[in-house]
Amino acid sequence: MLGNFWPRTLDTVRFPEQRRLFRTEPDVQVVVITQRPEAEPRGQIVMVHGLEGSSNSGYKLSMAQRALEAGFVVHRFNMRSCGGSESLAISNYHAGQTSDLRGVLEQLRPDGPIILVGFSLGGNVSLKLAGELGETSLITAVCAVSTPIDLAACVRNLGHRANFLYSWRFLGRLRQRIRLRAKQAPDRYSEVNLSRVRTVYDFDHLYTAQFFGFGSADNYYGTQAARNFLSGIKVPTLLIQAKDDPLIPFAVYDHPAFATNPNLRLLAVDHGGHLGFIAKGPERFWLDRVVIEWAGERVTSGGVGAIGPSLV
């Protein structure tokens, strides 16, 4: 929670923002906020937010500042209907919806290697896409932070009483999204089932799974979880996970792909919560430093790369 509320800044005078629309389907556009470094770019970083986040999520802002200062072009990707783009697509997003992200990546100008950085649910999307792409040279590397690679296990964990505040916050925003959609397209969306929604599982079972044709929340979680795609990832991939993450049981990272796929590197730390990683020293945002230094190494040397003492 401290990581969520700690003040973060992004210099939009030194690095002006460009709001860009990308059409990914005939009736779908997504919003991407792009900023460029002052010198010739050394590469591109595409950031993917978490559940009910946006391009203005705090963890994106401070990392974007670090990336721009390090010479990267930064693209803060908004998932479908996020970041004030509800009018640009009548459908919402889900945890495995990779088509919009892939569509944006295919349309980006050649400003150097592309590194994906996904946060929470955005990490699931990023890892799933990397697994789907396989040998395709669309991306150079992937970093996933606080990622629910096992959606079913993480949603069950979210339902625990200790996570009431997180669940309450997510559900409030998800319910509001349906209410907005019901006004925009009453023929496709209904508020009837909102009174039955008590948990995120309920929402996914009654809305997400039905709208996207998964049939049930269990099938949605089972087919869209990144854990199914880890073995197919062919690019250097760093997963950063705190063992005390209240939303993601660390046991989900006991996955055979980490032993069999040489492209995967798991950086597990004792503390950090969910997207927190606040350091005690004057440089508060430990995560930003680790990710951007790792990204810099990937564009210069390639390979998975070790996490040396300077990073941890």
pLDDT recorded at residue 135:
85
**So where are the chain's domains?**
2-150+226-301, 162-224
Helix, strand or coil, per DSSP, at residue 32? strand
Read off φ and ψ for residue 143, nearest 5 degrees: -125, 130
Closest CA to 114 of 145, 136, 146: 136
Dihedral of CA atoms 293, 295, 301, 305 in degrees, nearest 10, equals 80
Separation CA 276–CA 3 (nearest Å): 4
Residue, of 33 and 159, whose pLDDT is higher: 33
Residue range 119-137: average pLDDT?
A: 95
- Under DSSP, is residue 73 helix (H, G, I), strand (E, B) or coil? strand
Cβ neighbourhood burial of 270 (10 Å; 0-12, 13-18, 19+): exposed
Kindly report which listed range (4-18, 134-148, 188-202, 221-235) carries the lowest average pLDDT score: 4-18
**Dmax of the chain from CA atoms?**
57
Two tokens at 303? Answer: 């390979």
Parallel, antiparallel or unpaired: strands 141-145 and 237-242: parallel
pLDDT in tens, 80-113: 999 999 999 989 999 999 999 999 999 998 889 9
Confidence of residue 297 (pLDDT cuts 50, 70, 90): very high
Determine the 3-state secondary structure of 169 from DSSP: helix
Where does the pLDDT of residue 303 fall: very low under 50, low under 70, confident under 90, or very high at 90 and above? low
**233: how many CB neighbours lie within 10 A of its CB?**
22
- Cα–Cα nearest to 145, from 257, 3, 7, 36: 3
Question: Tens digit of pLDDT for each residue in 13-41?
Answer: 999 999 999 999 999 999 999 999 999 99
Full-model pTM: 0.93
Predicted pLDDT of residue 308: 42
Average pLDDT over the chain reads 92
206, pLDDT greater than 80: yes
Report the distance separating Cα 98 and Cα 106, nearest Å.
12
pLDDT at 312: 41
Token digits of residue 297: 């190494």
Residue 41 contacts residue 112 (beta carbons within 8 Å) = yes
Residue pair 226/253 in contact (Cβ under 8 Å)? The answer is no
Query: How far apart are alpha carbons 122 and 93 in whole angstroms?
Result: 11
Tell me which fold the domain 2-150+226-301 belongs to. Answer: Rossmann fold (3.40.50)
Q: Which of 128, 153, 126, 131 is nearest to 251 (CA)?
A: 153
